[in-house]
């Protein structure tokens, strides 16, 4: 992943796009890309969403790439290590949703 | 990152939450979390978004963790390697936005 | 609806919030509010989403109010009549999705 | 607006699309359309977002139409009057953000 972050930095530096890449703009772009990812699933049933055809899977793969690119870019700009942040969040969630209470229950899960 | 993916799998398996984690639902959750991240920036100026106070930075860090958790979860369910997907997207974008044409220009960039 | 637009204008004028309400910021806020609305549905089945309990319905009602407030605000700032825009879009969609071809078919509908 | 709601109902009935239009799916579609609206603003400065060229303004107008269509559709499915919901939310916000405290202040406004 370090190499990917380096590639993102170089890509944007070469194009002088850093001026547009404020955390505010990047958070907006990230949400928009997440919307483009979700667009592929919006009219599918749950089951259909599990078995995409190869064309849709290819498009979804690209959108997942886009989301990761913007996520790493905003984290990089703010000096945040996203892997460490995710691991800490899992620990926090483990306390918030104890196995014996949360098992199979969606109600508590709604506000995750 | 492999270890993080393993942690996400275990966390959800222990709670029997896989039943809710269809690609469709996860794409929805990812977008919603991206919205929660963006919420911290919505009324800030571009400059303010670069220099968050430590409280906001901590909250933003948690949201970045959440977005990464859902992104890895949906990619895992679909058998997609998000790092590889991002690297391929950068190559594709490099062709789409050649340095000599895209340098400093936002117009072409709008539809990225 | 004209009265509602007037109320939104007055509310924001009294608080001197117009300075934050650029179309860019409002488009961001609108998307974030739409995310808060969707959050109530993210882990529900399709059937569960049709029969909300009264507490959830009350919360959903508030989020629908929020989305409409931001939508009218951004349209007002840009001089756009949202009702007229919606009516024109329906006419455009009627041409794009002729009844005899689109009837019951989700495929064509995906890119709506 | 009543006539618009009627047009939306007829449009979807003619195409037998009601089967896809659960509140869950509509909340997802609404968020995605809000993302498409925001996409037009993502790399613009605040000032640029106030003075769109006519081409962009036309596209933004269409997206505003789309957002309203989905908002009215989901409200209709849930038996919610969006205008009344918005008016009640303004009253609630007026209590939450008293003029003398909220005037010109963004801090309190962040969690609106």
Q: In chain C, what residues touch B36 (CB-CB under 8 Å)?
A: 32, 35
Query: Is the distance from CB of B67 to CB of A30 less than 8 angstroms?
Result: yes
pLDDT at position D68:
98
pLDDT at position B112:
40
Query: Is the distance from CB of D108 to CB of C15 less than 8 angstroms?
Result: no
A47 Cβ neighbours under 8 A, 6+ residues apart: B22
Nearest to D71 among C68, C74, C104 (CB): C68
Residue bearing tokens 């483990």: A94
Among candidate residues D40, D59, B49, the one with its CA nearest the CA of residue C30? D40
CA distance B110 to chain D (A): 7
CA distance C70 to chain B (A): 13
Nearest to B29 among C29, C36, C42 (CB): C42
CA separation (Å) from A109 to A30, B28, C17, D106?
24, 14, 35, 31
Is the model's pLDDT at A108 over the cut of 60?
no
Is the model's pLDDT at A109 over the cut of 70?
no
Contact A109 C31 (CB under 8 A): no
Identify the residue among D65, D81, D104, D107 best suited for mutation to test binding to C, counting C beta carbons within 10 A and taking the highest.
D65
Question: Does the CB of D42 have a partner CB in chain B at under 8 Å?
Answer: yes
The C-alpha atoms of residue D51 and residue D75 are separated, in whole angstroms, by 32
The structural domains of chain B, ordered by start, are 2-80 (1.10.287.1080), 81-112 (no CATH)
Among candidate residues A105, D27, A94, the one with its CA nearest the CA of residue B24? D27
Contact D32 A35 (CB under 8 A): yes
Nearest to D31 among B31, B43, B110 (CB): B31
The C-alpha atoms of residue A54 and residue A76 are separated, in whole angstroms, by 33
CA distance B73 to chain A (A): 11
A24 Cβ neighbours under 8 A, 6+ residues apart: B41, B44, B45, B46, B48, B49
Instruction: Dump the DSSP string for C39-56.
Output: HTTTTS-HHHHHS--HHH
The residue of chain D with its CA nearest to that of A45 is D20
Give the 3-state secondary structure of residue B101.
Answer: helix
Is the model's pLDDT at C106 over the cut of 90?
no
Query: In chain A, pLDDT over 90 holds for what percent of residues?
Result: 90
Query: Is the distance from CB of D71 to CB of D33 less than 8 angstroms?
Result: no
Identify the residue among A34, A41, A69 best suited for mutation to test binding to B, counting B beta carbons within 10 A and taking the highest.
A34
Q: In chain C, what residues touch B19 (CB-CB under 8 Å)?
A: none
CA distance A4 to chain B (A): 7
The residue of chain A with its CA nearest to that of D25 is A42
Q: In chain D, what residues touch A42 (CB-CB under 8 Å)?
A: 25, 28-29, 32
- The phi and psi torsions of A43 (rounded to 5 degrees) equal -105, 5
Question: Does the CB of C17 have a partner CB in chain A at under 8 Å?
Answer: no
DSSP-assigned letter for residue B111: G
D69-86 pLDDT, tens per residue? 999 999 999 999 999 999
Nearest to C28 among A28, A42, A43 (CB): A28
Among candidate residues C45, A78, C82, the one with its CA nearest the CA of residue B65? A78
pLDDT at position A112:
41
Phi-psi region of A16 (alpha: psi -120 to 50; beta: other; left: phi over 0): left
Question: Does the CB of C20 have a partner CB in chain A at under 8 Å?
Answer: no
The C-alpha atoms of residue B30 and residue A62 are separated, in whole angstroms, by 15
The C-alpha atoms of residue B75 and residue A60 are separated, in whole angstroms, by 9
B49-64 pLDDT, tens per residue? 999 999 999 999 999 9
Residue bearing tokens 């400059």: B47
Is the model's pLDDT at D111 over the cut of 80?
no
D21-57 pLDDT, tens per residue? 999 999 999 999 999 999 999 999 999 999 999 999 9
Contact C38 B25 (CB under 8 A): no
* pTM for this predicted structure: 0.95
The C-alpha atoms of residue D30 and residue C67 are separated, in whole angstroms, by 10
Contact B110 D43 (CB under 8 A): yes
CA distance D3 to chain B (A): 31
What would the mean pLDDT of C3-29 be, rounded to a whole number? 97
C47-104 pLDDT, tens per residue? 999 999 999 999 999 999 999 999 999 999 999 999 999 999 999 999 999 999 899 9
The C-alpha atoms of residue D54 and residue D51 are separated, in whole angstroms, by 9
**Mean of all residue pLDDT scores within chain A:** 94
Contact B32 C42 (CB under 8 A): yes
**Mean of all residue pLDDT scores within chain D:** 94
Among candidate residues C30, A38, A26, D42, the one with its CA nearest the CA of residue B37? A26
The C-alpha atoms of residue C24 and residue C72 are separated, in whole angstroms, by 14
pLDDT band at C105 (very low <50, low <70, confident <90, very high): confident
The C-alpha atoms of residue B19 and residue B33 are separated, in whole angstroms, by 20
């Amino acid at each position: 992943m370090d190499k990917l972050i380096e590639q993102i930095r170089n890509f944007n530096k070469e194009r002088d796009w850093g001026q547009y890449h404020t955390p505010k703009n990047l958070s907006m772009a990230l949400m928009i890309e997440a919307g483009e990812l979700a667009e592929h699933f919006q009219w599918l049933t749950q089951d259909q969403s599990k078995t995409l055809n190869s064309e849709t899977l290819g498009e979804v793969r690209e959108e997942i790439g886009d989301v990761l690119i913007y996520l790493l870019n905003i984290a990089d700009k703010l000096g945040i290590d996203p892997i460490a942040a995710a691991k800490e969040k899992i620990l926090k969630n483990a306390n918030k949703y104890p196995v014996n209470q949360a098992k199979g229950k969606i109600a508590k899960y709604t506000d995750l």
